[in-house]
Structure 1
Amino acid sequence: MRPQVQGLSNSRAFTESHNSMRYRWIYLPFLLSAVPLDGLAKSRWEDMRSKHSWKTIPKNWESLGLPPADTMINLYIALKPCRENALIDALNEISDPRHPRHVFYNMPSLRMYLRVPFLRYRYGAHLSKEKVADLVAPHPDTVQLVHSWLEHHRVLSSSISVTHGGSFLTVTGVSISQANDLLGASYQLYTHTKTNETIVRTLGYSLPVVLHGHVQTVAPTTYLSSQLMPWQTQNKRSRVAAIGLGKSPPAEPVTMPPSRRGDVDDADVTPAFLRWLYSTFSYVPSATDRNMVGVTGLTGSPSPLDLTSYMRKYRSDGIDATYVVALVNGGEYDPNNPGGEANADLQLSEGMTYPTAHIFYSIKASPNGDVYLAWLDAVLTQVYVPQTITTSYGNYEKLHPMEYAMQVCHLFAQLGVRGTSVLFASGDDGVGKGDCKADDGTVQFTPFFPATCPYVTAVGGTTSSDPEVGASLSGGGFSEYFVRPGYQQQAVSTFLDNLGQQYSGLYNPSGRGIPDIAAQAVTIPFFYRGQETIGRGTSCSTPIVAGIISLLNDYQLSQGKPPLGFLNPWFYGGGLNGFNDIVSGSNPGCNTDGFSAIAGWDPVTGLGTPDFEQLYTYLI
């Protein structure tokens, strides 16, 4: 599937809608004799057209039949903006130091002396939630049309809440029968054969034809996918004494791994080692009253006792490290029953950033709701959003309906415009797991979403240290949904020129490439239920990178400058030399050898691993 524009443009939709209305008015005298007065409105809502459907039940899911009669769901209805490109245009201008656009700098003290508005680059001029809401607001005709449709189906106005400038509607307490009528759907219970996760979904849904140009997506509908990236652990290994690695070791006592090659490691990657490897060891955060890291969690809670054990062993100056918890979508916090992923994500980030503040988002993956939209809606309505957010979850892009994925991606763009750096793990299956055969027998590499969203920073994995090598598990490839963004054009084109015709037809050469950057992803220690264990995967490298980005944000804030926000335009531009280029390793999958790490960007390690000291010298 190649990238394409979904649905009608707003202007075209309005024109066709108005033309249709004019046609009915001209012939109204003839219609009145045959159709009741309310027949015109009724027929408008009954003229349905499919929005999205699956031909068969997605892999690893099976139907359990109809849900209980009293089952209720919350529907999320995303409306298309009146100004289609306003959000992304603003994101590009704010996030790219090379962008030529200027804005007025309204500092009163300067205006007194200059007598004219002073101009500066728009880079870093992040927007408030109110200004973002203005950018994404739907046309008034869209709002009126959608509310008329809901009213026709007797949806109570009291059950509808509106956020993000009217672009996002949440309809609470919708019965299954009412949802089926609204969406021409057939909701059933589906269970995941491997995780036993049970959800309420439909294999297809429709909307009235007149709404297709106005509604981006409705959820939960056809998104049948476990939200979970496999949490990988391995047995504890004994430590090996350090040998010289070409750098002066930090003053703090630390056991460093010897030179390692490939994915067979014999030592652990501790916080002290990571801080030495990525040059953050000498930096002491100073903007801790303003800077914060957000950690998203879908599986269990972190344990403060495990965090203390981790910090006592690996970051002795931070044994008082703590965090706050935000409950989202009915999320729960039970530190006595911690989750492995939650523990690892929080501990690895805290180990890099102490004493920076952390907030853990406990998000309930509700069977009757949508976890991404619920979380993004909750975060974007807040006045204050963390400067860095790390997420170690995702799934294959092809399992997400395209219009749904595009809506989620644009919500991440809203976070970027607000000044938040959003990082996602690129996956742990290389270019794809198994034989990667589609229903028609063709083979296609399978990149991970949301990592493929061009408005987040995707993090891959490395191993070894002298030099670092691309980890074989590192998810990488090219999106089938999102075109290659402008900031990637030169870097990705160079890689594709070197690749030639290898794997032709197995990936989309015009798609957004992942990952963007990488970090250590193998032999990562953390504490779980009072015991030390070892983790591996990009779900480990992502919070590590988030810690480094948070330190850069701390430096920015300490200098009176704005946070970095959306990172990629800077990374692929002025920050390009702030990375350790990884030139060996590969990410096999789909019964192939996968891509290879080479000089420059590659779909194994991206631009490379971050060098903190180099990166902050390139800050604007």
Structure 2
Amino acid sequence: MRPKHSWKTIPENWECLGLSTPGTMIDLYIALKPYRENALVDALNEVSDPGHPRYGAHLSREQVADIVAPHPDTVQLVHSWLEHHRVTSSSVSVTHGGSFLTVTGVSVSKANDLLGASYQLYTHTKTNETIIRTLGYSLPVVLHGHVQTVAPTTFFSSPVTQWLTPLKRSDVAAVRPGKSPSGRPVTMPLNRRTTDVTPAFLRWLYSTFAYVPSAMDRNVVGVTGYSGEYPSPADLNSYMRKYRPDGTDATFTLALVGGGFDPNNPGREANVNLQLTEGMTYPTPHIFYSTPSSNGDSYLAWLGYVLSQEYLPQTISTSYGAIERLYPMEYASQLCLLFAQLGARGASVLFASGDSGVGEGGCETNDGTVRFAPLFPATCPYVTAVGGTTSFMPEVAASLSGGGFSEYFLRPPYQQQAVSTFLNDLGGQYYGLYNPVGRGIPDIAAQAMTIPFFYKGQETYGKGTGCSTPIVAGIISLLNDHRLSQGKHPLGFLNPWLYDGGLKGFNDIVSGSNPGCNTDGFSAIVGWDPVTGLGTPDFEQLMYILDLGSSNPPE
């Protein structure tokens, strides 16, 4: 046996409760290294690059499974190892697009033997969440070249919602009738500083007011929920009745990924996420994925479910994340490749960039050094990270907008020019606090403050990139609707196009900053910045760019 990963101390904000109850069962996820190591990323880049002949030729579920398949020797070795420990073959299945083996119903004592681990109960000191984890685990030496990671093992953090509810409604302007850029009536604010971010305001601000979806038989929005959250149909009806009266019949499909459903006990995050996407895209069909909080792994549970489906939503919005360094690096890398599978199959996957600027608190690492703390999965180079703005005419960066540079993932080619320009302007400021060759986040942004929504029959307000992400997802879904209605392929993985042809379809945000880690954070400047990315979307400009294949839309 040789160690695979371990922590020197219990991760921050967790306490050990001791051994779990004898006979406690868990499911183990074993990530197998693919036979063709770079084939998935190569395929993703080809089908996502507008300049490549294969652009838009997204892969099927079966084609992805073939690309990520492990070598036969890998499968044989892992099965031999499991058989040696008397793990029955009936409990082992191939999952996650062919890249994982899932072993169901493993006793904690058996897992300890398999992995040279010491599973115990841990509780989070702030949320009281209780999980079964180990501070370290090992694998037979012969398996290190074949197994990428095993979960749940040393990953302690759970997906954290990236939105905040203000304690009170304040500094909100009155409104008056006005007209959108297309000339249609819309509610507009009396002043330019702040206003309720209603669907009418958003549709005016981001130029979607005149667009009517028409590909409802082909286009779907997916919204993910973790920690056992799900939305309320009654609250959705109240929201639409007030803010989209043409959409009072809006509904959604609920996909229960191992959880239950009580419409009288919805989640705030689930409600605001679904209400925002419905408000932007009605009557586009929606599917909400409800994944329970458990001793397993929420991301892996959801990814295992969705990758097994023959058809995927064209746009998927996720308002969750956690500090990147809380994830073991090999584990984060494997999750990132699963998100790459979604992109290769034609899904645009969006994640919130975070609500603590460059980092919450003092940002001390376990060894006592200070580093900015970006969020994963937003730092994965195969998803689109969404930051936050506020005000309008012009919009400015919301101070909470998460942004920075990955410690794990190198800057991808599509981002080289934009990020290098920012770093040259930054100079030596914050030297040593971030990774200058890391993937930069966010990619784009949208309104993140004063967001009204309904919860248990009452209207309340939220803020955060967990709100801006479903807003952007709604706009991307409308672009997908437009393309599908013309018989074209969906956008899929967005970033190669965003940083190239799509550049001029964004409103550059040039003021504001994202303080954190006891610093002033980064500043929004001309061009890309780690506060608002490329800026906020202009739907009409982006649609024009896509229609003509041009990067020079009309002024």
User: Aligning the two structures, in what range does the TM-score lie when normalised by the shorter sequence?
Assistant: over 0.9
Aligned residues of 2:162 and 2:465 also touching (Cα < 8 A):
no
1:600, 1:285 → 2: CA distance?
A: 31
1:309 maps to which residue? 238
Asked if the contact 2:177/2:187 (under 8 Å) is kept, the reply is no
Note if 1:576 corresponds to 2:489.
no
Q: Secondary structure at the match of 2:385?
A: strand
Match of 2:151 in 1: 219
Structure 1 position 588, deviation (Å): 0.2
- 2:116 maps to what in 1? 184
Does 2:95 align with 1:142?
Answer: no
Q: Which residue of 2 aligns with 1:322?
A: 251
Are residues 1:512 and 2:439 paired? yes
Equivalent in the alignment of 1:554: 481
Match of 1:256 in 2: 189
Cα distance in 2 between the residues matched to 1:385 and 1:62: 39
Tell me, what secondary structure is at the counterpart of 1:233? coil
Tell me if the contact between 1:291 and 1:386 (Cα under 8 Å) persists in the aligned partners. Answer: yes
Q: How does 1:415-434 map to 2 (within 5 A)?
A: 415-434=342-361
| 1:595-610 aligned within 5 A | 595-610=522-537
Q: RMSD across aligned C-alpha pairs, in angstroms?
A: 1.4
Return the letter of the residue paired with 2:478: L
Measured in 1, the distance between the counterparts of 2:171 and 2:438 equals 43
Other-structure match for 1:336: 264
2:389 matched to which residue of 1? 462
Q: Would you say the 8 A contact 2:180–2:186 is kept in 1? A: no
- CA distance in structure 2 between the aligned counterparts of 1:312 and 1:243, rounded to whole angstroms: 19
Match of residue 313 from structure 2: 386
In the alignment, the residues of structure 2 paired with residue 451 and residue 559 of structure 1 have an alpha-carbon distance, to the nearest angstrom, of: 31
Q: State the SS of the aligned residue for 1:584.
A: coil
- Name the SS for the 2:515 alignment partner: coil
1-structure distance, mates of 2:248, 2:169: 23
Is 1:279 paired with 2:212? no
Question: Do the aligned partners of residues 245 and 318 (structure 1) sit closer, same or farther apart at CA in structure 2, a change above 3 Å counting?
Answer: closer
Do the aligned residues in 1 keep the contact of 2:177 with 2:185 (CA within 8 Å)? no
Q: Which amino acid aligns with 1:228?
A: V
Equivalent residue, structure 1, for 2:33: 80
Aligned residue type for 2:341: Q
1:362-401 to 2 correspondences below 5 Å: 362-367=290-295, 369-401=296-328
- Unaligned 5+ segments in structure 2 are 550-555
Match in the other structure for 1:103: none
TM norm structure 1: 0.86
Check conservation: 2:23, 2:109, Cα contact below 8 A: no
2:45 is matched with 92
CA contact (8 A) 1:244 1:258 kept: no
Query: In the TM superposition, what is the alpha-carbon distance from 1:255 to its structure 2 partner?
Result: 4.3
> Between Structure 1 and Structure 2, how many residues are aligned?
545
Whole-angstrom CA distance in 1 between matches of 2:190 and 2:495: 31
Q: Report if aligned partners of 1:310, 1:526 keep a CA contact under 8 Å in 2.
A: yes
What secondary structure does 1:513 align onto? strand
SS, match of residue 506 in structure 1: coil
Contact 2:184 2:210 (C-alpha < 8 Å) held by counterparts: no
In structure 2, C-alpha distance between the alignment counterparts of 1:90 and 1:516, rounded to whole Å:
21
Partner Cα distance (1:238, 1:62) in 2: 41
In the alignment, is residue 359 of structure 1 matched against residue 287 of structure 2? yes
Residue pair 2:31, 2:149 contacting (<8 A) in 1 also: yes
244-253 vs 388-397, greater mean Cα deviation: 244-253
* Inter-partner Cα distance in structure 2 for 1:238 and 1:505: 38
Query: Once the 2 structures are TM-superposed, how far is the Cα of residue 538 of structure 1 from its aligned partner?
Result: 0.1
Shift of residue 618 of structure 1? 1.3
Determine the C-alpha separation between the residues in 1 that align with 2:161 and 2:124: 14
Q: Does 1:615 align with 2:542?
A: yes
Report the CA distance between 1:166 and its aligned residue: 4.2
Equivalent pair of 1:190/1:200 in contact (CA under 8 Å): yes
TM-score, normalized by length of structure 2?
0.96
Residues 553 and 563 of structure 1 are in contact (CA less than 8 Å); yes or no, is this contact kept in structure 2? Answer: yes
Partner Cα separation in structure 1 for residue 529 and residue 45 of structure 2: 23
Q: Which runs of 5+ in 1 are unaligned?
A: 1-47, 100-120
**2:31 aligned partner, one-letter code:** A
**Residue pair 1:79, 1:167 contacting (<8 A) in 2 also:** yes
Equivalent in 42, 66, 70 of residue 19 of structure 2: 66
* Cα offsets for 1:178-213 (capped at 9, x unmatched): 000000000000000100100000010010111011
In structure 1, C-alpha distance between the alignment counterparts of 2:245 and 2:133, rounded to whole Å: 48
Structure 2: distance between partners of 1:252 and 1:526:
22
Measure the CA separation in 2 of the matches of 1:494 and 1:246: 37
Percentage identity across paired residues of the two chains = 76
Q: Match for 2:273 among 332, 345, 352?
A: 345
2: CA distance, partners of 1:161 / 1:206: 22
Question: Which position in structure 1 is the counterpart of 2:169?
Answer: 236
The 8 Å contact of residues 364 and 371 in structure 2, kept in 1 or not, is answered as yes
Counterpart AA for 1:126 = H
Residue 229 of structure 1 deviates from its aligned partner by: 2.6
Distance 2:351 2:520 in 1: 24
Q: Which amino acid aligns with 1:417?
A: A
Go from structure 1 to structure 2 and tell me whether the alpha carbon gap of 1:313 and 1:252 turns closer, same or farther (over 3 Å shift).
farther
Q: Quote the Cα distance in structure 1 between the aligned partners of 2:178 and 2:541.
A: 19
Please give the secondary structure, in 2, of the residue aligned with 1:78: strand
3-state secondary structure, aligned to 1:435:
coil
Larger Rg: 1
Shift of 1:491: 0.2
Is the CA contact 1:257–1:268 (under 8 Å) kept in the aligned structure 2?
no
Q: What letter is aligned with 1:385? A: L
SS state of the match for residue 373, structure 1? Answer: helix
Task: Tell me if the contact between 1:245 and 1:466 (Cα under 8 Å) persists in the aligned partners.
Answer: no
